[in-house]
Amino acid sequence: MYNKNIKLFIAILIIGFAIYQFIEGNIGNGIMYILLSLIFIFLYFKNEFILLAFLKLRKQDFEGANKWLEKIKKPKSALTTKQEGYYNYLKGIMVSQSNMNEAEKYFKSAIALGLSMDHDLAMAKLNLAGISFSKKRKQEATKLLAEAQKLDKRGMLTDQIKMMKQQMKKASIPTQHYGSPTSSRQGRRSRR
């Protein structure tokens, strides 16, 4: 995996060669090189491996998505801040199936680095709320759930948020303990 700055360097070289082509009078070649440099500029802001991982994830192919993410060896040097946020977000989704502690770290890191789409941020907070709730941190889970609901402006996560709220209500209802059959018999005898 290349450093993110190499993509910018290649784009600058191609733009320089495009300018040379314009000066030489080869306008068609210059336009083609400008378009070619736009690909490298696009890939600077949108990492190709993260895009491919999203495509695999869309098809529910977690293993294939994880293979693409594994190709990013050093996320700090290879990705911009937002891309690193999405890298951690995708890793959190992958790991949440097996290891909740590690998934929590990835989701917290993704939120700290920032995600550009509100519904992605809402999904990360919803996952964090579920992890917090399973670890018996109800206040944190409630706070994260409220934040996720505010961020979900399109209503894409409405059903999941309702389900989570219902589960939290069920868990907060205290279970009633009825007296054992022997204690109720003893109570009746004492009344006589």
Give the CB-side neighbour count of residue 146, counting CA atoms within 13 A: 5
Model pLDDT, residue 187: 47
**Of 72-76, 85-89, 157-161, 174-178, highest mean pLDDT:** 85-89
Model pLDDT, residue 190: 46
Phi, psi at 39, each rounded to 5°? -65, -45
**Is residue 173 left, alpha or beta, with left meaning phi > 0 and alpha meaning psi from -120 to 50?**
beta
Helices 62-70, 48-58: crossing angle, 10 deg rounding: 170
Is the Cβ–Cβ distance between 96 and 127 less than 8 Å?
A: yes
Residue 176 scores a pLDDT above 80: no
Residue 86 scores a pLDDT above 80: yes
DSSP annotation of 154: S
Model pLDDT, residue 136: 82
